[in-house]
Amino acid sequence: MSLASMQLEVARNEEGIRAAVTSLSEQFGERCQTSLSLREQHAHTTSWLPNQPPDAVVFAHSTEEVAEIVKICAALRVPIIPFGTGSSLEGHLNAPGGGISLDLSLMNEIIAVHPEDLDCVVQPGVTRKQLNAYLRDTGLFFPIDPGADASIGGMAATRASGTNAVLYGTMKDVVLGLTVVMPDGTVVKTGGRAKKSSAGYDLTRLMIGSEGTLGVITEITLKLNGIPEAVSGGIASFDSIADCCNTVIEAVQYGIPVARIELLDALSVKSVNAYSKLTLPESPLLLVEFHGSDAGVREQAERFGEIAAENSLKNFEWTADPEERNRLWAARHDAYWAGCGLAPERTGLSTDVCVPISRLADCVTATHDDIAENGLLGPIVGHVGDGNFHVLVLTDINDPEAIAQTEAFVERLNYRAIEMGGTCTGEHGVGQGKMKYLPKEHGAGVAVMAAIKRSLDPLNIMNPGKIIAIDTE
């Protein structure tokens, strides 16, 4: 399977695209751009799938403007690809049939914060770091941390999670409601600020993870959490990946409320040491973090250390010093770039899967062995507290044999996870790159997804060629 064959072909509507670009240029002036460099930047930035740029990029300021843009494109049957910060990994932002990239980055207002109710309302262009900086003086924080400084709208659209998911959940757990512009330009509100509701279909959850294929998210109401009284972090080194994974499994099963627990294999540790100038022991290790009271985090760390000691623990160090903790987590978040530094002449393919926690050791060990047996270069990291891990395969994309070998590995990895009761993606999403695995994972459910897509987007203009392939003829 070639790289190009991983992308679904979508027919271009040349006449409609020309008319849409003309209309949008007249209405939005300099906020409608057609330069090739900008269009290529709005396709994808961190994937090895071929770049498929849109025909124009339009910068919106409000829900009303988004609705107007969608109405123009719907009337002309022109694709719309919502854009946040461009940090997605599976070709979500490509425009296989051309069309309009709808850039929401200028919609970055924090509309309201309600400290007494632990919630806030934001526009989609607000980033997680921007939101937490704004919240700092309220004693609250937004816990979802995918690593990249992603936009909140993009995080909702891809059902993002990250390092804190084991304790705080994912975007599906913290979004109370959305404002969404539907494919015909209608504006819909899917929820409110109540912490629970039994009123009708859960449209909020339908839109979360829809990757822009069902509508454009223009406002998000979020749950917030109180900043913990105390935070401590630690590093636990082991002889093997299996020992790491078994420690994670037992810690979760014993109910230790770990806030973050991240796996780095020996190759990842080596890359992180070089990139971030650290001196971590170059063997499989866990980065762990505990939130709570002073006494609580101390007790959690001690219990975790006891469990780790039963799994051939080599070394366990922990600290409450914020500067040291932040340095370690910054290095973890830079693991992608650190991994790429192992072979700068190659291109990185970042892929992820997620399995039930009881199968974590089996899946990670089998994947590590697969990499070694096939002579691949692929560091492994993971948010292993919820069974999610990532592989960064470094490949020469000018070598067809290397590409075929890498793609075969990715296929084995995805099917391995699914056969273990897991999923082909824990947080990257489907986009273009993982469409082929949905039938294996969801079976007849794929047809149900296609029916929803056809019902809400009969013209197939909302991010076509992603998640579900539908025929509009």
* Domain ranges for the chain: 4-105+452-456, 110-226, 230-334, 337-419
CA distance 427 to 353: 8
Using pLDDT thresholds of 50, 70 and 90, give the confidence band for residue 264.
very high
pLDDT digits (tens, 9 = 90+) for 299-337: 999 999 999 999 999 999 888 888 888 888 888 889 999
Q: What is the pLDDT of residue 339?
A: 96
Residues 6+ apart with CB under 8 A from 337: 275
3-state secondary structure of 317: strand
CA distance 392 to 389: 10
CB atoms closer than 10 angstroms to residue 226: 12
CA distance 23 to 198: 42
Using pLDDT thresholds of 50, 70 and 90, give the confidence band for residue 7.
low
Contact indicator for 191, 177 with CB cutoff of 8 Å: yes
Contact indicator for 465, 10 with CB cutoff of 8 Å: yes
Q: Are 230-334 and 337-419 equal in CATH topology? A: yes
pLDDT digits (tens, 9 = 90+) for 387-406: 999 999 999 989 999 999 99
Instruction: Check if CATH label 3.40.50.720 holds for domain 4-105+452-456.
Output: no
Q: Residue 6: pLDDT above 70?
A: no
Instruction: Check if CATH label 3.40.50.1450 holds for domain 337-419.
Output: no
End-to-end CA distance of the chain: 27
Phi/psi-derived region of residue 152, left when phi > 0, alpha when psi is between -120 and 50, beta in every other case: alpha
Contact indicator for 103, 59 with CB cutoff of 8 Å: yes
> What CATH architecture does domain 230-334 belong to?
2-Layer Sandwich (3.30)
Closest by Cα among 252, 277, 274 to 263: 252
> What CATH architecture does domain 110-226 belong to?
2-Layer Sandwich (3.30)
